[in-house]
A = this chain, B = another copy of it.
């Protein structure tokens, strides 16, 4: 499956999972759709589908985990933007969820998106015994990790940049890739390869974001070195995988290209 087809499948699946914006809780449902339909790049779900192909599975087998990680990522953005957190009124060129729907509905929409993320995993076909529990553990670790990273990032006394980047950014990349490998029928060793790939990809991505925003805490030159080193380590982790790794390579190169 090429990246454009993957993207269309992801958008269609997300639309089918989100509740219709009517009924007793129309405002909640509208806010959930607003948060998810804001034009994100869908990096994490693409990574999930690509990981399924890299272990020799089909991208279609990983579509529910792919949606789950995007729903979870979307909730973190809704909560990060809240006045008590980053206090952002804009996101992707339009009002953030709380700016449009109010704080209470935004808190609740984030909460519902996280619940929907996990509920979505239950729809993944059970390709092997224990698949559901493995997916759940992977998304659960990612979901806890991303909150730990945001907590450390908000804490002015925390200067452990590695900890912040690893958890705030890389943990959801790791969850996406591991879930794709699990849903695609990968062995435990292959899932670990994908974990290594995604950890480095996530760290490269965060340093790239810092460079693009021109606010790297380690300086532009050192950040560029980090991007190169992590992109190389990510690519090296793919050696020996039995499936098609072209989508994963493309993803890593497209990300690194942003800073060239």
Mark A residues whose CB is within 8 Å of B: 24-25, 27-28, 75-76, 79, 82, 84-85, 102-105, 107-108, 110-112, 114-116, 118-122, 124, 126, 129-130, 132-134, 136-137, 139-141, 143-144, 147-148, 150-152, 154-155, 158, 160, 163
Complex interface: chain B residues within 8 A of A105 (CB): 151
Q: B122 near A24 (CB under 8 angstroms)? A: no
Q: A107 near B84 (CB under 8 angstroms)? A: yes
Cα–Cα, bound, A68→B121 (Å): 16
* Contact pick for A28, options B137, B139, B143, B151, CB 8 Å: B151
Complex interface: chain B residues within 8 A of A160 (CB): 24
Nearest CB in chain B to that of A148: its residue: B25
Q: A115 near B114 (CB under 8 angstroms)? A: yes
A96 to chain B, nearest CB (A): 14
Q: B129 near A141 (CB under 8 angstroms)? A: no
Cα–Cα, bound, A111→B146 (Å): 10
* Contact pick for A152, options B25, B75, B158, CB 8 Å: B25
Q: B122 near A107 (CB under 8 angstroms)? A: no
Nearest CB in chain B to that of A103: its residue: B84
A156 to chain B, nearest CB (A): 12
Q: A27 near B155 (CB under 8 angstroms)? A: yes
> Which residue, A107, A115, A130, has most C-beta atoms of chain B within 10 A?
A115
A122 to chain B, nearest CB (A): 4
Q: Could you list some 28 contacts between A and B, CB below 8 A?
A: A24-B152, A24-B158, A24-B160, A24-B163, A27-B151, A27-B155, A28-B147, A28-B151, A75-B111, A76-B111, A79-B108, A85-B107, A105-B151, A111-B111, A112-B148, A114-B114, A114-B115, A115-B140, A116-B144, A118-B140, A119-B143, A119-B144, A121-B133, A122-B134, A122-B137, A126-B130, A126-B133, A129-B129
Cα–Cα, bound, A130→B125 (Å): 10
